[in-house]
Structure 1
Amino acid sequence: MAVPPPSRNVGILPTWRRVAPVGTLASTPNFPTKILNVGGHVLVLANGATPFQTVTWYSRDLRRQARMAAYSKVAPTKPTISSFSNGTALALNPQHTGAGDMVYSPGQRAKKIAAEAGETARAEEHTDTVPTTIVSHSDLFQGLAAGKDGTVYATGGNSDQVLALRITANRVRVVHRYPLQWQAFPSSQYPYAYQGKHGKKPYHFYPDSVAVSPNGRYLYVTGMLANSLARIDIRSGTTQYVNVGPYPFAVILADGGRRLAVSDWAGRGVAILKRRNLEVLGTVPTGPDIGPHTVAAGVHPTAMTAVSLGPDIWVADANNDALVEVDTHALKVVRVIADDPYPNAPPGSYPDALAVAGGDLFVANAGNDDVAVFDAATGRPAGLIPTGWYPSDLSVSHQNLYVVAAKGFGTGPNPHWQYIGNMMHGLLQKVSLKDLARRLPEWTRTTLENDGFSRSQRRALAKKNARTSAFLRRHIRYVVFVLRENKTFDEDMGDYRAAGKWADPRFDLYGPRELPNLYRLAAHNALFANFMADGEVTAQGHQWTDGASDSDVVQRLWPEYYSRRGLQWNAGPGGTGALSAKERDRHDPFEYSRKNLGAFANPWISYPERLYLFNDLLGHGVSFEDFGENLTRTRDGVIRDALLAHVDQSYPGWDRMIRDDNRVAVVKSWIEAHPGKAFPHFIFIWLPDDHTAGASPCYYSPDYYVADNDHATATLLHELSGMREWRHMVVFLGEDDAQSGADHINAHRTLGLAMGPWVKPGNVDVQPLSQVNVVRTIEAIFGLPPMSQWDDNAEVISGIWRQTPHRDPIPVLPMRVPVQFNRGRCSDRQLQRREAGATGHVLTRLWLKSHLAPHGADNVSIDAAQRYSPTSILKVSGPEQMRQEWMASKGVRRYDAFQRFLRAYAAAHGDSVAVYEANDGDLH
């Protein structure tokens, strides 16, 4: 049952902002992205990184009534437990589509692990079930529309179909499936090559948004991966296609239904078409000119809404916080409104949903966790309405505003190893508009204070930051940032007694045995014990650490990739993995290619408006060197020479067979070759070995990977601490995210350290910090402007600095973990890769030729399909990675003991395990 929230309904986010949504609230499944009012119902589509994607029917008072759940394979009709030969078990309950859980154990214990999976799923079920229709071989993306007869149409993303749904007596039926096909687009049009999984055909149309014609005869559907709009005859199923530009996002009716408007997510505006014959009349630019060689990020035209009784529409440019009014008849921009929470704010509001009602324009600001209200006639801001975390859509009906927030109230602890990527359930919010004018001033003050945007807060922060910045500018001239992979604070530091209540050894996976150097570094420097990762997974984490934000593209598309729903890694998350040289006979296939990406994914669409630290450093003349981190590319996939000049092109990329000690050896050689003035002021070093390879056969064991990462980190610091520049240096160490472990305080909590002569020793710092504070501190040291509203309003790290430097060199403690490999069968090629990786190489024809016996006795053919590259990575998902690491590191008995602890932990608090998994019912 939905209830009006008391004042205590406040969430604290990883960025340390607060959310305090008003009105009546109900929870939704993970990551809702679409809301629709039809026939007395409120429909919510949720498409998170979950086994099921759902459409849930709510009453107007937010009581759940029915649900359709899409499942990519043959869906279970009753609670099902499946066990697999690798020891994985998956429990699914179609009545509790948010309660499915996966557990891991050795294969010979499949019966027991299946029982545990069933127990976990039952514990997580909410007692208030909802009638659910499971649809096999289906998927959902982010489009909903309704016909005149009440039929609901839902877009299917990876399944390349539109589902027609009807509800009768709280039961949902699929009355038709409309298939759609990929359409080729010009090679001169972004993204210049298909961006789905290349090895899987047929290619995907990837239906995104849907609209219904005024007479109810046709559906209009955008195809994100086909750059196309489809018109479907609802009766016959006959389908026509037309190219509308790169990454079409939304489609709406305009000019009284005579025209169609399509927003091009990767374009510069909206395409306008005649609805009757699909003639493209032109594109109205809402942003600056772009072309193949464009360096700047895109403006990301996304949500649209039509103005009644006229040809105008409103368009949200999500990446640069602009609201653009477009005349679809004259094909021109009428005006632009800045969606800024305060004067001269950098990007970060991220408007991504619009509605016009009662003379007001309502704008869902995903970045600021609010709905901004503007006078639609004058464009003047009227106020702000607080929402949950990341509002992703809104609608107005019967004098009520309905909003869905993709991340709800955020996360708390995850003692049952809940996966951070999908443990946050969304939020449905209903706000009465009858008394809006009276309530807006109070709500506006609350929203600004929750974000830290009030005048008094910003003045106080500026004053404090100025003092700290002045100190840092006097004493710090060099910054080294070391980024590692995927660990919670408790996972690595749970055994660190000096942290007191901030560490819990029951969740410790690695300790002093594997991490002797990390524990010593913590004892002699500043350890951030209340430090949060701002994103959930790697796709977001590298954007937050590099750019103090992640774009709307990354937020909306990473769940599709992480749940294996047809997208390439770079077709949204924004990494640049396809960087290996084209020449096979080079010892170093990680040399950055100066050519276009070709068939690989093009990440340009994913960049936030002000790009990343590297671009900022370059633009302000600060010298830097990059070892392993992503660099921005032009729109056609080329890394500019100006950036390329600051990259060590011999540094190994993502290869689990190359150890971090080899990576650090590359860094040391480079440092020795660049003494004195040639030494840069900023260095970024990526050391990914603590990600591990889980229990995958033939790879190093998790314990050894973590120990090698620890030793490599200390070796690097030892080298730095012996340099002349060390006297004016600070080293920051952190993880990209916290997705692989459990934590007793927050699933987003990770570890961070500051090290150097000016850092107080033995400091367990518990001030609220996140990755953004590190970025802000780096900017303060070099005098760089903020890149987003997050770093613009973040505190420069203070309280950890000493007045006089100490110059003790950092020692390297020896590894305590011997070389270990995971059990299992190794192919010849894996053994060859491992042998090459042991000396810092990858397996190439030239390396193989130089290591074969005479006369080719051991010759092995390696064709292009088999050749290992940074894009054929071994990527174990967060929850599975954590389980595999636990089993491999601690053994079966420790795993069983930890399972018993979890059950006792829940019982001691008077709860079931369900309390620690975001439930699928109403909020309490």
Structure 2
Amino acid sequence: MIKKYAGPLGILAFALVGGIAAAAIVPTIAGPHPDGTATTPVGQRVTPAGLQTRLGDLPLNSALSPDGKKLLVTNNGQGTQSLQLVNTANHKVDQTLKYTSPESLYMGLAWSADGTHAYASAAANSKIRTYSYSAGKLTEGPAIQLPTKNPDGLALTLFPAGLALTPDGKRLVVADQLADAVSVVDLATGTVSTTSVGHRPLSVAVSPDGRTAYVTNQGAKTVSVVNITAAAPTVTGTLEVGLHPNKSVLSRDGKTLYVANGDADSVSVVDLEAGTSSPIGLAPYKNAPIGSNPTGLALDDQGGRLFVSNSGNNDVAVISLATRTVTGVVPVGWYPTSLAFAGGSLHVTNAKGLGAGPNNGPGHPNPESTTGTAENQYSGSMIVGTLSSFAVPTGDKLQRATAQVASNNRSSTASGEVIPRRPGQASPIKHVIYIVKENRTYDQVLGSLGRGNGDPSLNLFGDESAPNFRRLSKQFTTIDNFYADAEVSANGWNWVASANSNPYAEQMWPANYSGRKAPYPSENAAPENAAQEPDNTYVWQRLAKAGVSFRNYGFFVSNTGGSFTAPDPVLDAQTDHDYHGYDLNCPDSSDTFTPLKADCGTPRVDEWTKDFTANVASGTVPSVQFVRLPNDHTQATRAGKPTPKAYVADNDFALGQLVDTVSHSKIWKDTAIFVTEDDAQNGPDHVDAHRTLALAISPYTQTGKVDSTFYSTASMVRTIGLLAGIAPLTQFDAFATPMSASFTSTPNESSYSVVRPPYDMTTVNGANAPLATEVESQNTTTEDKIDEQLYNQAIWKSVRGDKSAMPVPQHHVIGSGSVSRPGDADGDGQ
């Protein structure tokens, strides 16, 4: 049977294979599709099996009630967090308890053995929420308060994560993620005892006899073994597992612990009596790079099969424990996070469901608006999580499901005469410059370009403030179907630099962005943020290992006494320490706004020009350059600061100057400049909230054509890798389509001349600027410490005026009903 629908850019056909929607034609744009399928920003197709239930913002964990009738789900996104009860018989949400910041939830969930009580972590609030359950409803009771000071009286944020009850129901074991500790709560007295474990503990499993807790250390590659019988818990051993373990599950007899290793793409099978561990690989094909990113685990009722949610592959792996092999995979929603198995059915929470879709409705992100951005319009909170419920297929049906996943996550081999098909092949491009800016959508800058798929009503920055970007788009190639693989900067910079964002970063950034006390999981963060080994994650590390020269201007640096240094010694060794990192007080280009602080030094593009000119003169221009131009982020309507248009114009002028300089140099003939944003969170887009700006500037792209090929951040990383001669970093850039369609084999070596934006770049916001008072209190010292929703509205109103009308919303997300059915529930094709 074939289902057809008219997509936004054409007719797409889907064949139902064993109850799973199989795309016969690749969708042309990202986001949800009307038939219940979707396309992720990286280009993967999402064809979830079974029944789909609409959940909340970023469901990260679930727990099945003892009788199997209710599934407790914790939604831990950037916006309103919630606890939900799902009826496993009819797949409907029976109850939703909402929590707005600073109130919080997190990953920890537990039921009492008799099903009359439940517990949920409230990480930002240093407490465990307690609930009584009767007549099908949860009622919140007094919370269990955790310590907020250490024994020396210093402030302490335990940030409780995973929870587990002892079988007798008397003690609750808590993984204290930010304190590198585990706590045991005596539920009768409320006494809390705490001891140190490994780095960033996440989940807890308790032995059947209630004597031992096994705590996965997500920031390491270990599991701490904790004796919980004494008055104070004591670590009695440490088990070696794979890198960055996530959730774990114990066999019924308590002899075997299974651990999902998020950045090793494996499950560790730990023999607890022998203290030994062996891995089961989850890579989708032989020699695949990292990217499956397993998160959750569940055993079937008989203990013969283990199920693993592969968040990077949007599937569930079915493992035979008799043979310890993956027998197949089943497609689910985007970014599966947890699993529960009961009564023959598997229930899978999908953190990102079917994706975002457009965010151009009322309350959409607008830099100068006087009202806040609606949660359902902000890229960081608008995505609706889903629950996929189905009977796990076997035999031929499982193999068809496996084939569907392989099709969904197919590897692209597109290439041309300029972009190599494989690393190491010849190309006329010898030099690459990779420029990353901050937080703009396609429609914000190119919506009114007059070509490409733009919406003029959403264009905020036109020829007055972004003339160079717009002119470069026309003169070279207009790339109108390019997506950021991230929702915000915190995971955006991971994608920019490593073509991946691991489970630690994905679960942490929403709490960071919403004022819920989590650390910023990107750039100069701790090693747990590295999606592979810390010395082998980032593109510059791969370049260094391959002997490819590179130079860094502002990527992953911090200001250390006026010198900009990178914690990574490999990057720091090739960093221009005089190039100013992220700091909105300092201009990107000269002769624009006056620096807002004394130590700005040389404007960014001037410092780059000085270094570049010297390298050209000495014949030492590196093969790859990383250049950060951050000022299009803006400070919205903050009084006394440049207006949004002034910031964007400063940023645009710097970009134009850089291209002008390169195009008039002797290396122009063999150079490609790639430009994009780290994410698209600060504006509306009529196609999808992830769609963003991209440029490919080279004599080989100076065609004036429109390239509507589906690209993403990973595509740009892959293209740079192919030109530099290095293999893909992860499964995502291995999968992504190289940007070869933007190139032609016939070069046009005409130079580019910079245009000075006509907007007065010295213009500052007045005290009466829209939302100036509210914006004044925001932290702009580092990226995205602000209330993005407030900023988006302020910027829109600054450009369009307080009375500007908002465009009519367009929604292509899963319907408002609680259940949809793209395929059959049990995988039998009926």
Q: TM-score range by the shorter chain?
A: 0.7 to 0.9
| Mapped pair 1:143 → 2:170 | no
2:311 is matched with which residue: 340, 343, 366? 366
Q: Secondary structure at the match of 2:766?
A: coil
**Alignment equivalent of 1:452, drawn from 410, 429, 433:** 410
Task: Tell me the number of residue pairs that the alignment of Structure 1 and Structure 2 aligns.
Answer: 742
Contact 1:26-1:922 at 8 Å conserved across structures: yes
Within the candidate set 611, 619, 629, 1:670 is matched to 611
The change in CA–CA distance for 1:471 and 1:505 in structure 2 (over 3 A counts) is: farther
Go from structure 1 to structure 2 and tell me whether the alpha carbon gap of 1:724 and 1:539 turns closer, same or farther (over 3 Å shift). Answer: same
Aligned mates of 1:824, 1:306 — CA distance in 2: 60
Q: Which moved more, 1:375-384 or 1:164-173?
A: 164-173
Residues 1:427 and 2:382 are matched in the alignment: no
Paired position in structure 2 for 1:409: 354
1:469 shift after superposition: 5.3
* Structure 2 CA distance for partners of 1:25 and 1:642, relative to 1, 3 Å: closer
Look up the equivalent residue of 1:736 and give its one-letter code. Answer: D
Aligned to 2:3: none
How far did 1:430 drift?
Answer: 1.0
Give 1:517's aligned residue.
468
Distance 1:438 1:673 in 2: 64
1:280-295 matches, cutoff 5 A: 280-287=235-242
Opposite residue 388 of structure 2, the aligned amino acid is Q
Q: Would the aligned equivalents of 1:732 and 1:755 in 2 still touch at CA under 8 Å? A: yes
Q: Which runs of 4+ in 1 moved over 6 A?
A: 4-7, 462-466, 914-918
Q: Are 2:415 and 2:738, in contact at CA under 8 Å, matched by a contact in 1?
A: no
One of 194, 211, 217 as aligned partner of 2:170 = 217
* CA 72–643 in structure 1, closer or farther in 2 if over 3 Å, else same: closer
Gaps of 5+ in 1: 74-137, 187-199, 288-298, 577-601, 831-865, 907-913
Equivalent position amino acid for 2:746 in 1: T
Instruction: Tell me how far apart the structure 1 counterparts of residues 680 and 782 of structure 2 sit (CA, whole Å).
Output: 23
Query: Which 5+ residue runs of structure 2 have no aligned equivalent?
Result: 1-18, 23-34, 365-376, 560-564, 590-602, 822-830
What does residue 766 of structure 1 align with? 708
* Rounded Cα–Cα distance in structure 2 between residues aligned with 1:16 and 1:233: 49
Partner of 2:331: 386
Report the Cα distance in structure 2 between the residues aligned to 1:923 and 1:879, rounded to whole angstroms: 30
Change in CA separation of 1:642 and 1:63 when aligned onto 2, cut-off 3 Å? closer
Change (3 A) 1:871 1:344: same
Q: Name the structure 1 match of 2:826.
A: none
Tell me the TM-score normalized by structure 2.
Answer: 0.85
Residue in structure 2 matching 1:548, options 499, 504, 520: 499
Q: What is the rounded CA distance, in whole Å, between the counterparts of 1:237 and 1:812 in structure 2?
A: 67
1:168 aligns with 134
CA contact (8 A) 1:249 1:262 kept: yes
- Per the TM alignment, residue 201 of structure 1 is displaced from its structure 2 partner at its CA by 7.4
Task: Provide the secondary structure at the position in 2 that maps to 1:779.
Answer: helix
Deviation digits for residues 761-820 of structure 1 (CA, Å, limit 9, x no counterpart): 202100111111111111111110111001112222222222332222210112211121
Q: Secondary structure at the match of 2:433?
A: strand
Query: Which whole-Å CA distance do the structure 2 matches of 1:516 and 1:619 have between them?
Result: 39
Aligned twin of 1:775: 717
Find the counterpart in structure 2 of residue 441 from structure 1. 399
User: How far apart in 2 are the matches of 1:152 and 1:29?
Assistant: 19
Indicate how the Cα distance of structure 1 residues 354 and 183 shifts in structure 2: closer, same or farther if over 3 A, else same.
farther
Rounded to whole Å, the distance in 1 between the matches of 2:782 and 2:418 is 44
The answer to whether the 8 A contact 1:689-1:709 is kept is yes
2:523 is matched with which residue?
575
- Counterparts of 1:14-53 in structure 2, within 5 Å, are 14-38=41-65, 39=67, 40-53=69-82
Is 1:315 paired with 2:259?
A: yes
Residue in structure 2 matched with residue 348 of structure 1 by the alignment: 291
The worse-fitting range, judged by mean Cα deviation, of 604-613 and 48-57 is: 48-57
Shift of 1:184: 5.2
Deviation at 1:643, TM superposition (A): 2.8
How far apart are the structure 2 equivalents of 1:869 and 1:176? Answer: 34
3-state secondary structure, aligned to 1:674: helix
Quick check: 1:222–1:250 contact (8 Å CA) kept in 2?
yes
Whether the aligned pair in 2 keeps the contact of 1:321 and 1:350 (CA below 8 Å) is: yes
Q: For residue 252 of structure 1, what is the amino acid of its counterpart?
A: A
Q: Secondary structure at the match of 1:314?
A: strand
Distance in 2, matches of 1:274 and 1:920, equals 47
| The one of 63, 66, 87 aligned to 2:92 | 63
CA spacing shift, 1:227–1:470, aligned 2, 3 Å: closer
Which residue is 2:801 aligned to?
A: 891
- Name the counterpart of 1:879: 789
For 2:544, what is the secondary structure of its paired residue?
Answer: helix
Letter in 1 for 2:430: R
Instruction: Report matched runs for 1:857-876 at 5 Å.
Output: 871=781, 875-876=785-786
1:861 aligns with none
| Equivalent in 776, 790, 802 of residue 732 of structure 2 | 790
Q: Which amino acid aligns with 1:157?
A: A
RCO higher in structure (CA 8 A, sep ≥6): 2
**Any conservation in 2 of the 1:320–1:350 contact (CA below 8 Å)?**
yes
Q: Is this contact kept in 1: 2:552–2:571, CA < 8 A?
A: no
User: Which residue pairs with 1:742 in the alignment?
Assistant: 684
Q: Counterpart amino acid of 2:140?
A: V
Q: Do the aligned partners of 2:20 and 2:47 also contact (CA within 8 Å) in 1?
A: no
- C-alpha deviations, 1:472-524, integer Å up to 9, x for none? 8330000001111111111110111022xx01101111111211111211111
Can you list the C-alpha shifts for 1:409-452, whole angstroms capped at 9, x where unaligned? 0121111120011111101111114x533421111111111111
On the 8 A contact 1:262/1:271 being kept in 2, the answer is yes
User: Counterpart of 1:892 in 2: which secondary structure?
Assistant: coil
| SS of aligned partner of 1:246 | coil
The one-letter amino acid paired with 1:178 is: I
Change (3 A) 1:557 1:873: closer
Q: What amino acid does structure 2 have at the position aligned with 1:704?
A: A
CA shift, 1:734, in A, is 0.7
SS of equivalent residue, structure 1 residue 678: coil
- Please state if 1:619 is matched with 2:545: yes
Tell me if structure 1 keeps the 8 A contact 2:513–2:784: no
Cα deviation for residue 275 of structure 1 reads 3.4
Identity %: 28
Query: Following TM superposition, by how much is the alpha carbon of 1:915 offset from its aligned partner in structure 2, in angstroms?
Result: 6.8
Letter in structure 1 aligned against 2:399: P
> Aligned partners of 2:215, 2:813: CA distance in 1, in Å?
42
Partner of residue 654 from structure 1, selected from 564, 567, 582: 582
Q: CA 1:723–1:266 in structure 2 vs 1: closer, same or farther (change >3 Å)?
A: same
CA change 1:667–1:704 in 2 (3 A) is same
1:91-113 CA-to-partner distances (Å, cap 9, x unmatched) read xxxxxxxxxxxxxxxxxxxxxxx
Q: Distance in 1 between matches of 2:422 and 2:335?
A: 31
Evaluate the alpha carbon distance shift between residue 759 and residue 204 of structure 1 in structure 2; reply closer, same or farther with a 3 A threshold: same
Offset, 1:544:
0.9
SS in 2 for 1:545: helix
Equivalent of 1:264 in 217, 220, 224: 217
For the residues of structure 1 that align with 2:417 and 2:426, how far apart are their CA atoms?
14
> Please, what is the CA RMSD of the aligned residues?
2.8
Would you say 1:534 and 2:485 are equivalent positions? yes
Asked if the contact 2:486–2:492 (Cα under 8 Å) also holds between the matched residues in 1, the reply is yes
* Structure with the largest fraction of helix: 1
Give the partner amino acid of 2:106.
Answer: F
The C-alpha deviation readout for 1:205-260, integer Å capped at 9, x for no partner, is: 11101101111111111111111111111111111112112111101013654421
Q: Distance in 1 between matches of 2:629 and 2:120?
A: 43
Asked whether the 8 Å contact 1:230–1:241 carries over to 2, the reply is yes
Is structure 2 residue 149 aligned with structure 1 residue 207? no
The normalised TM-score by structure 1 is 0.76
Q: Are 1:494 and 2:435 matched, yes or no?
A: no
Distance 2:418 2:145 in 1: 56
SS at match of 2:297: strand
